[in-house]
Each structure stands twice: as C-alpha cells, then as structure tokens.
Structure 1
Amino acid sequence: MKRILATTAIATLMAAGPGLAQDYPTQTVTIVVPYSPAGSTDPAARFIAGELQEKWGVNVVVENRPGAGSTIGTAHVATMDPDGYTILLTTSAYTTAPAVHHDLPYDPVNDLRAVAMPSSAQFVVTAGSSIQSETLDQFLENEAAERDIFMATAGLGSSTHFAGELLAAATGMDATAVHYSGGSDAMVDLIGGRADIYVGSMTAVLGNVQAGQIKALGVLGADRARALPDAPSTEELGIEGASSGFWLGVFAPGGTPDEIVEKLNADITAVMTSDAGMAYLENLDSDVGTMSAAEFQAMIEAEIEQWTVLAAERGISAD
C-alpha cells in the first residue's frame, strides 16, 4: 500500500509540470537532523531553517531524530512523500555508513536524492593529555612508532571513524578504534587522556583546541587550516592517501521532482553564499559547497565506493 501511495504521489507531482517549483513551498518544510540537539549538526540546521523561512515566507522547522549512527532519521526521510516538505540534513557519515552496515533500512543511492552541500570543512587530527607531541609528524615519529594508539571515534561507521582509518592506512600507524556514542563522548575521554587521538571535523573540535583542552596535531588534505596555522597538513608532510573532508549535505526522498530539487539547491546555496551565510561559515572555519545537485549525487556515489573499498581493506564491518 505504501509503495502504491508513493507512486501515486510521484505521478501527481510530475503531472504538475514546470510550474511546480514556482509554487513550492506553500506549507511547513521540516528539516530532519538524524542527530541529537547537542551535536554540531543541529546549529547548522537551525541557521539554514531560519534563513529559508525568511526567504520563503513559510515555517521551516528542525526535527531531531537521533539513533543508530544517524540511520534512524535518514530512514525516516526515505519513507516520506517525495514532495520537498520533509528533507534531511546530515553529515558525511551518509557515505560511510553503507560501507559497514550492509542491512541499512534504506538504499542511500536510490531511496534519497542528493540536493545540496551547505558546507565542508577539514578533518583535524587532535590529541589529548596522553600525547606529548605537538605536531602530526612528531606524533608519528614518537608515540605512534612505539605503541598501539587508542583512536576515539564518534561511532562505528561514522565519518570520524573512517577519517581515522584513512590516516592509519596512509601512515601505517597501529591504531585501535574505540567507538563512542557520539563526538561529545569521544571528546570527554580525549580531554581526560583515556583516548590518544580523535580525527574530528573542524566544527566539532575547534572550540576545545582554542580552549587548550586538546591539541591539533595536523589536518587531513593539502592545506593548513586558517584557524589552525601551526598544524601541518598531511600532504605537506608527504603523507599520501589521507585527504578527506567533512561535509554537511541535504537530501530529499527518492522520486522528488527535479524542479523541487533544483529550487532547494539554488535556495540553500543562496543562503550559504549570502553575507550571513559566509559569516556563519567563517566562524566555523568552513567553506560553502556550491555543487549542483547532480554533481553532489555523483560525489556521494563515488564516496560510497571509496569507503566500501577501505572498509574491506581494513576489515571494518558491523555485521
């Protein structure tokens, strides 16, 4: 019955023709965040919701549906009508989860459509009080060369988990992944010296670094971070194959008409490239993603393949 209703809804939307996007939205739009309000994703969702509400003149609300490493909220959106009134704002964990969870309650390629990438940021290799080194090269030459490293993650299959595994694979570091229920819990043990390192997004770790609670050893990718000029980049250190970034992405249920997807992409991009959006991102040392929906979809599919290969190579599985 559900499939019949969804098919009927899609047919109705398609029959509406090119004028559909001109009328959308005419009622409340819900942005589902598959994490708790305490996470770093929620503030971004509320900023975007507020800006879109002002732009559209309709209510835009944020609904938190945390659990199961973000898959509960994601699965919920996958079952909603493809009319643009329920959309998902999630993290790059969207592409890592399929690499370890082979029984996801949704197909990440077909059950949801990539819409827009509001922001992207660098991953930062951070260390707690158990590490004496000040930079990533010192860490690899000292602590990582002498013992197994306890690497905190925000959960099995999370983007922080895969960023850490990518670093370990690129450097040959012996690291035991210690999975927490989220980034906040991982940070507590990192600060307390019960975990050695955590590879987290700039958004999630910058405040703790600036407060002196943890150290930034380096960043993944080609360039140093604007907010952390003393932390070397992996490419600068000659570490190959460790480039990866953290992003926020908006998705809509599969079958959402192109006209609505394109309007969402254009309006979200406009919000994030506005003066308010740029100021918001600068405060987080993040960049706006200006991809088209098609370009973002292609990136999603490529990342799912990349992380699936890495999971097989590293023996990572939740099954």
Structure 2
Amino acid sequence: MPTRRSTLALALAGGIAPSLARGQSAPAWRPTRPIRLIVPFAPSGSNDIVGRILAESVGAALGQPVVVENRAGAGSVIGAEHAARSPADGYTVLINSAQAAVPAIVARLPYDTIRDFVGIAVAGFSPHVLVVSNSLPARTAGELVALLRANPGRYNFASAGIGSGVHVAGELFRSTSNFQAEMVHYRGGGPAVAALVSGEAQFGTPTMASSIGQIRGGGIRALAVAAAERSPALPDVPSAPEAGVPGLIFEEFFPILAPAGTPPAAVAALGAAFQTAIRQNADKLGELAGVRPRAGYETPEQVMALVQSGIQQYTSILRAAGVQPE
C-alpha cells in the first residue's frame, strides 16, 4: 500500500516526466545528403587548405561527406553571394577569411555581410607573411623597403583579390613603410603565391597557409611574419618588430558561416561538428597552414561579433592608407 511520501513522489515524477521527455525528445539535426563547403577563392589558397583539412572530420561527425566547392572571383564576393543566396537548410556553409575585409573596400555588395549569414565556428587565426620572389635581391625587410622607395612603381605586389585580407595587409605595409608599388589582384591566394614563385610579381603579404609550403621549399623568401612574435610554424622568420617593420601586424581569421535562416538545430549540429574537427586537427592546421585555434568563438553570436569587429579594423586600416571603397 503506497505511503503519503511515495504518493507525493509519484505525483511529482508524473508532473516532471513530460517536460523532461519533451527536452530529451527534440531530435538533433542530421544531414541526409552531402554538405557543400563553399570556398570563395581558387584552390591552394588559405581558405581552400583550411577547408579541406576540416572537411573530412566534419563529414565523419555528421555522417555525410563535406564537399569543398571553389567559387573564386571578385575577392570572395562571387562565392559569398552564392552561399548567401543558397537554401538555408544546413546543406551549404562558407569559409571566408575575407568576409570582414570586403565591406571595407567594396562599396556596393550584393549581400549583407552580417545580416545574410549566421555564425557556425572560427577555424583559427594566422598571421600574414612578408615575402619576396627569389629574383629580388632584398634579403631583409629593411632592404625591401629601401628598394621599393628607390624605385617607385617599378615592382608588383601580389594580391589575392580586391578586398581580400592579402590586399588589406598589402595596403597596411604600403602605408606604414611609405613606398609606391603596383598592386596586381589575382583570383585568390594560390594564384598570387604562384605569381611570386614565377617572378611575375616581386613581393607580397600572403597568408601563411597559402605560402608556407613555398617558403619551406625555397620557392619564395620570407622576410617577416606580420605578428608581434615569431610563429611556431616558421620559427626562423623574424617577427615584424624584429624585422624593422613594427607597423606590419596583421592576421587573418577563418569564419565558417551558413545562410541566414538556417534552422537552429542545423546550426547547432554544424557548429558542434566543425568545433570538434578544429580540435582534432589543431596540430595539422598549425603545421600545414600556420593556423592556431582560439577559444571564445563557440556560439553564432560570438562568430558574427568577430566578423563585425574585423570590418571595423580593416576599414580603419584602409582609410588610414587612403583607400576608399569602390
């Protein structure tokens, strides 16, 4: 025969159980077909390298392959617009280190950098590198600056496209070191580095991810890492202050985004899968791309706040360099 205490316990359990069941029965989102990871640059650039490092692990976590799709052009605008206009169903994501740079230099974008996207994760941060073609005699950053000042407009700077982080880093270098040079915009970091290797362009500030292989292999010469301290990925390359260019402090970050309106359950599942992949591949990201994950970007709001602060930073750099949006 039930006691008063057991009756009360049963009554409480009966009242609580439905709410627990509701919380536990909400199904987690699981994809039923492959997911597209849009890279808005040509293959072999930093976004492409980082995206491909993560894609396999993300696919394993979600049970569906993640297919990298390169849609290069206009400094990432073509690929970013495609991602923004894709169905908001969880099957399209974008990795774009130029997401914050483009609004600072392109006056009329066909999408809104903030409102048309939702944050998924941040793959990490990586400094740019000041490099020269092997055909150039400069062996230090000081020698390069002296050469550029003595020959205004003679040498070509290799950019990854208008509005790319490489473009912004180049404008920062130009304004803080006070020289004139021709800026040539290629269709991504990979083609820009290839131009440096061939000697078509003479110097640049590529991302570490897109240039580290050629630096280690001797295809191009690194004069400085655009950071306050040396990078573990290139320990023999001096930091910007050590190299005598203390104003050249610039790093890129890799936000992973989905179209605005993507269901919260899909955003949560994608976020968890990408964050797990970032942790699992931290050593590979550092070794192959010079990318270091950083805590504090686990929610959609934190990811988009980082993009917003990046827009402000890049706008400040470009206006100080006298560059206005076009």
Length-normalised TM-score, structure 2: 0.82
Larger radius of gyration: 2
Partner of 2:32: 27
Q: Given the alignment, which residue of 214, 227, 230 partners 1:224?
A: 230
Q: 1:37 to 1:237 in 2, by over 3 A?
A: closer
Letter in structure 2 aligned against 1:138: E
**How many angstroms apart in 2 are the aligned matches of 1:21 and 1:236?**
55
Q: Given the alignment, which residue of 59, 66, 76 partners 1:53?
A: 59
Partner of 2:289: 284
Q: 1:175 to 1:22 in 2, by over 3 A?
A: farther
Q: Secondary structure at the residue paired with 2:241?
A: coil
Q: Secondary structure at the residue paired with 1:93?
A: coil
Letter in structure 1 aligned against 2:134: S
Counting aligned pairs with the same residue, the percent is 31
Pair 1:147-2:154 in alignment: no
Q: Given the alignment, which residue of 305, 309, 313 partners 1:302?
A: 309
Q: 1:66 to 1:18 in 2, by over 3 A?
A: farther
Question: Which moves more between the two structures, 201-210 or 31-40?
Answer: 31-40
Count of residue pairs the alignment pairs up = 300
Pair 1:86-2:92 in alignment: yes
Aligned counterparts, 1:212-251, within 5 A? 212-237=218-243, 239-251=245-257
Partner of 2:122: 117
Partner of 1:256: 262
**How many angstroms apart in 2 are the aligned matches of 1:173 and 1:259?**
51
TM-aligned CA deviation for residue 40 of structure 1: 4.1
TM-aligned CA deviation for residue 239 of structure 1: 4.1
Q: 1:115 to 1:218 in 2, by over 3 A?
A: same
Aligned counterparts, 1:170-189, within 5 A? 170-189=176-195
**How many angstroms apart in 1 are the aligned matches of 2:129 and 2:258?**
29
**How many angstroms apart in 2 are the aligned matches of 1:36 and 1:159?**
15
TM-aligned CA deviation for residue 135 of structure 1: 2.1
Aligned counterparts, 1:5-20, within 5 A? none
TM-aligned CA deviation for residue 130 of structure 1: 4.1
Is contact 1:20-1:260 (8 Å) kept? no
Partner of 1:100: 105
**How many angstroms apart in 1 are the aligned matches of 2:26 and 2:324?**
41
**Cα deviation code 1:92-150 (max 9, x no counterpart):** 2111111121211100010112221113222110001343222223333x313422253
**Cα deviation code 1:190-229 (max 9, x no counterpart):** 2343422110011111111222221100011111122322
**How many angstroms apart in 2 are the aligned matches of 1:42 and 1:22?**
32
Partner of 1:312: 319
**How many angstroms apart in 2 are the aligned matches of 1:234 and 1:88?**
31
Aligned counterparts, 1:36-75, within 5 A? 36-75=42-81
RMSD over aligned Cα atoms:
2.6
Is contact 2:233-2:287 (8 Å) kept? no
**Which structure 1 segments of 5+ residues have no match?**
1-16
Q: 1:286 to 1:280 in 2, by over 3 A?
A: closer
Length-normalised TM-score, structure 1: 0.83
Q: Secondary structure at the residue paired with 1:281?
A: helix
Q: Secondary structure at the residue paired with 1:95?
A: coil
**Which structure 2 segments of 5+ residues have no match?**
1-21
Is contact 2:123-2:293 (8 Å) kept? yes
**How many angstroms apart in 1 are the aligned matches of 2:193 and 2:66?**
31
TM-aligned CA deviation for residue 237 of structure 1: 4.6
TM-aligned CA deviation for residue 241 of structure 1: 4.0
Q: 1:261 to 1:247 in 2, by over 3 A?
A: same
Partner of 1:131: 136
